[in-house]
Amino acid sequence: MPHALPSPDLVVVHEEVREALAAGVGVVALESTILAHGLPHPDNVTVAAQIEDAVRAGGAVPATIALLDGVVHIGLGAREVERVCTDPDIAKLSVRDVGVAAALRLSGATTVASTSALAHLAGIRVFATGGLGGVHRGASETFDVSADLGVLASTPVLVVCAGVKSILDVAGTLETLETLSVPVLGFRTDAFPGFYLSDSGHEVPWRVETAADAARVVVTRDRLGTDAAGVVLANPLPADRQVDRELHDRLVTEGLALLEREGVHGKDVTPRLLEYFHDHSGGESLRANVELVLANARLAGEVAVEVAAQTA
């Protein structure tokens, strides 16, 4: 495992996380972009704490990751979380941005791509988020494919997520994951979830029933050593907790039209859509988003505990 971390002027691992890793206790990485750019203020502050609690309820130690004043933090204290959630100027940093922002002594929130890369650097195997970035609709013309996918292809971290939003090209995202050799496991489901919806209408290639089996996939892939890709563990909202389909379809149509109208592109696409949903769903998108993130954090905690036990 990669334990030669860069020096502390560049990367600081929070004490509790460092001790957990040294003792072989399960650790779950958490991204900060969902806090800074995915959830509205001030809900993000409360939800950030709830996500960490959910990881602990699963038996593991949470490590929220962000760049603060040019230093990567693996694990944040309450005041640092507050800062990520409150600073309106905090940047959204994918992998390519982290080194640049660190050099310029800036602060930023990490995406799935950069969180996975930094988690791997610290020896963390399991990561929980809400939704994965993916292939955007119209990508054959715009080339808008999230860097999340490419990074997963070369970073051996298991990402627990509720699939991808239907604002994306879901079929194209699944095809790309196949091309990039990233395995996709449904947790107690045969259907790839669609974030707000339990079923995106597309199948998952594999299904697991327990956190122990998901962990065994990670450990077995390591032992085989055939490739260094990550694993997607797709955890759907229960059917009775998903967003009403009519509301969902209306929001997606309106949201996509809004992007067109405003000429939004690049890394602003996902945050702008999320903001639109939160403003126009009467609280439903926020409710579902929070529930699925907490469920993913809990499951990731359980998987991390199992990975630690099976590696011991």
Binding site for ligand PSU (CB under 6 A): 31, 33-34, 38, 111-113, 130-131, 133, 146-148, 165, 195, 267, 270, 274
Is 135 known as a binding-site position?
Answer: no
Catalytic residue among 52, 165, 284, 306: 165
User: Cα 261 to chain center, whole Å?
Assistant: 28
Q: What is the DSSP letter of 34?
A: I
Residue identified by tokens 């972009």 is 33
Residue 130 site contact among ligand PSU, Mn ion, none (CB < 5 to 8 Å, cut-off depends on kind): ligand PSU
165 part of the active site: yes
In whole angstroms, give the CA distance from residue 48 to residue 140.
36
31 part of the active site: yes
Question: 234 by DSSP, 3-state: which?
Answer: strand
Is 213 known as a binding-site position?
Answer: no
Q: Does 144 bind Mn ion (CB under 5 A)?
A: yes
In whole angstroms, give the CA distance from residue 80 to residue 52.
14
In whole angstroms, give the CA distance from residue 26 to residue 137.
37
Please give the size of the binding site for Mn ion, defined by CB under 5 A.
1
CB of 64 or CB of 146, closer to ligand PSU:
146
CB of 59 or CB of 255, closer to ligand PSU:
255
Maximum Cα interatomic distance, the chain, rounded to a whole number of Å: 54
Is 146 known as a binding-site position?
Answer: yes
Q: Does 97 bind Mn ion (CB under 5 A)?
A: no
- What is the smallest separation between the CB atom of 61 and ligand PSU, expressed in angstroms? 21
* Of the candidates 70, 115, 131, 128, the residue with the CA atom closest to the CA atom of residue 302: 128
Residues with a catalytic annotation lie at 31, 165
Task: Write out the binding residues for substrate.
Answer: 92, 112, 146-148
